[in-house]
Amino acid sequence: MEFFNREKKIKEILNILESEPNFIYFIFGPINSGKTTLINHIITKKLDKRYIPFYINFRRRAIINVDNFIECLFEVDEKSKIEDFREYAKSLSDLLSKSSETVTNYYLGMPKNFFEKKEKSGDIYQYIEYLFAELNKKGKIPILIFDELQMIKELTLNGKRPLLKSLFQFLVSLTKEQHLCHVFCLTSDSLFAEYVYNTGELGGRAKYLLVDDFDKETALKFMDFLSEDILKRKLTKEEKELIYSYVGGKPVDIIYVIENLKHKTLNNILNEMLNGEISKLSYFLEEIEENDKEVHNFLINALKLFKDNYIIDDRKIKKNVRELLITKNILFLNPTNRTIKPQSFLTWNAIKKVIE
């Protein structure tokens, strides 16, 4: 399937890449809003050979300690006999800068002997810094991309200092201080985005890019795009309006509806989706009620705020209540403007049904 829309966001990110690295950019948004798809489209389709993107997805591997974190960062070079990491960084920078392939995701290589003695994260950071400096000398611009960064938020160094704090300090050094590379951190965890937004050490050093679900106009165009590609026919205005009334502009939900129209009726698809969402929400509330009726009442009262509103001020819901609803992927928080809304239109419709 061809990539659809997001031209404004693509242009914004490309403008960032054209400027000198100065900030850590956090790309956040509701679940399944297209953050990873967007960044992968940019690094595979929109960059010229000046750029060397390194994409690391922390969701692809269980990360329970610092060793796991380091293993996610690097591809181990089993054949290399080079002892000094500076020498290896120079050879790797030569290899990357001379590549004639179309720009795609490169890897952070590391000689096996250095990887096996990874005693301190500082050694790892020093190696990356040196590699990026070597790439800069060759006219290359590294891009470091961490997807689902919240997966490492509980890790500590030696059981004491948070790994995330040392990583942020290192990323600030790469961007704000040395201007060696661009850094993008992606997350669908809005509580993590709130934590990062309020982290004092990143004040003036980080920027935030929201990748949200499509607005109505774009969602309807997306339906046209998909229906002609998948169904080989156009949807009626009434069909598109009905789809939007159920799932809004959530790309993954729209795709699911259109694909299933090949063998199901539209009403059946939409009702099945809504009933599934209602069931999940009802079971969650039922479990809470059995354990703590007071918390259950707080949750119901919070959800009632969405009866006539899709977006509200987050301060209308008690912090512990909204955090529980966010953790369960029922609500999404935008910390940059302190608003909160359901994770999707489908969730919103389920909320309205459950609180009736």
Can you give the residue range of the structural domain that contains 234? 216-354
Structure tokens at 5: 């829309």
Q: Are 73 and 108 in contact (CB under 8 A)?
A: yes
Residue 1: inside a domain:
no
Assess whether 173 and 51 both reside in one domain.
Answer: yes
79 pLDDT band (50/70/90 cuts)?
Answer: confident
Assess whether 71 and 206 both reside in one domain.
Answer: yes
Cα 149 to its chain centre, rounded Å, is 8
**Structural element, H or E, at residue 23:** none
Output the CA–CA distances (angstroms, integers) from residue 173 to 24, 37, 297, in the order listed.
Answer: 10, 28, 47
pLDDT of residue 3: 64
Assess whether 189 and 225 both reside in one domain.
Answer: no
Q: Tell me the pLDDT tens digit for each residue of 35-51.
A: 999 999 999 889 998 99
Assess whether 17 and 144 both reside in one domain.
Answer: yes
Assess whether 130 and 272 both reside in one domain.
Answer: no
Assess whether 140 and 25 both reside in one domain.
Answer: yes
What is the number of domains present in the chain? Answer: 2
Residue 312: strand pairing partners: 340
User: Which of these three, 184, 210, 236, is where a domain ends?
Assistant: 210
Task: Look up the CATH number of the domain holding residue 270.
Answer: 1.10.10.10
Rounded Cα gap, residues 222 and 270, in angstroms: 17
Assess whether 136 and 258 both reside in one domain.
Answer: no
Q: Tell me the pLDDT tens digit for each residue of 213-252.
A: 999 999 999 999 999 999 999 999 999 999 999 999 999 9
Point out the least confidently predicted range of 2-11, 17-26, 107-116, 144-153.
107-116
Q: Tell me the pLDDT tens digit for each residue of 141-167.
A: 999 999 999 999 988 877 678 889 989
pLDDT score of 22 more than 70: yes
Point out the least confidently predicted range of 11-20, 93-102, 111-120.
111-120
204: region left, alpha or beta (phi > 0 left; psi from -120 to 50 alpha)? left
Give the SS3 label for residue 269: helix
Contacts 24+ apart (CB under 8 A), 38-42: 38/6, 38/9, 38/10, 38/13, 38/211, 39/13, 39/145, 39/147, 39/184, 39/186, 41/3, 41/6, 41/10, 42/10, 42/13, 42/14
- Would you list the DSSP string of 157-175? ETTTEEHHHHHHHHHHIII
Residue 136: inside a domain:
yes
